[in-house]
Amino acid sequence: MGLRFQKRISIFPGFRLNLSKSGVSGSVGPRGADVNIGRHGVTTNASIPGTGLSYRQKMGSRGSKLGILTLVGALAFAAYKNADKIIGFFGSGPHAAHVTRTNSASIVTQNVITSAKVATGVRYVHRGGSDLRDLPKASAKVLKKEPKGQQVQLVAMSGAWAEVRDGKLTGWMRTSVLGEAPPQ
């Protein structure tokens, strides 16, 4: 029995980097309808997920028209299924971040809709070095590191996140680092 190694790394939706013992290749398109480009040439793959049925064709041979058709189909399908992720990947345009607020607010941040409840009151930071972020997600840009005991004004609550105001700066913090009383 020979030694095998294979690792797939998703670069962005619809594009994967494939690492194996025999080399590096790239796959474009969703799994089940993708095109692989590597040192052995270009190969198209089509399969029906969960059935074990698949078709593989090396481009440049007799079935090159089928390969090109599969490539176009795979790219179109990947773009359709991952349009919001692709838009978010390429940065913040006029469509990337939008916030509206009423008594029970809908917050749309990079095409992710969360329900937020408008809240008021004072909260205190209970964990020093806690991040104040521009969006309610862990990968969002850090606006400021808040010290332990810092008093902030509560604006809204959304699940594990609280929108707070620290002076003129408004951002999002995890609710777990905030308390109603000053820390001891």
- HEC letters along 30-90: CCCEEEEEECCEEEEEEEECCCCEEEEEECCCCCHHHHHHHHHHHHHHHHHHCHHHHHHHC
Domain end among 33, 56, 88: 88
Claim to verify: residue 105 and residue 170 sit in the same structural domain: yes
CATH code assigned at 136: 2.30.30.170
Domain end among 40, 55, 88: 88
Both tokens assigned to 183:
């820390």
Domain end among 71, 88, 105: 88
- Note whether residue 155 is domain-resident: yes
- Note whether residue 1 is domain-resident: no
pLDDT at 173 over 90: yes
Cα separation, 157 vs 79, whole angstroms: 33
Could you give the C-alpha distances from 165 to 84, 155, 168, in angstroms and in order?
29, 7, 7
Cα separation, 147 vs 137, whole angstroms: 20
pLDDT at 10 over 50: yes
Claim to verify: residue 110 and residue 156 sit in the same structural domain: yes
In terms of residue numbers, what domain contains 139? 97-179
Please answer whether residues 51 and 63 qualify as being in contact, where contact means their C-beta atoms are separated by less than 8 angstroms.
Answer: no
Q: How many domains does the chain have?
A: 2
- By residue count, the chain amounts to 184
- Note whether residue 150 is domain-resident: yes
Claim to verify: residue 30 and residue 52 sit in the same structural domain: yes
Locate tokens 């619809």: which residue? Answer: 14
Name the band, by pLDDT with cuts 50, 70 and 90, for residue 174. very high
Indicate the pTM of the whole model.
Answer: 0.41
Name the band, by pLDDT with cuts 50, 70 and 90, for residue 22. confident
Phi-psi label, residue 175: left if phi above 0, alpha if psi -120 to 50, beta otherwise: alpha
What local confidence, expressed as pLDDT, does residue 133 receive?
A: 92
Please answer whether residues 45 and 36 qualify as being in contact, where contact means their C-beta atoms are separated by less than 8 angstroms.
Answer: yes
Name the band, by pLDDT with cuts 50, 70 and 90, for residue 95. very low
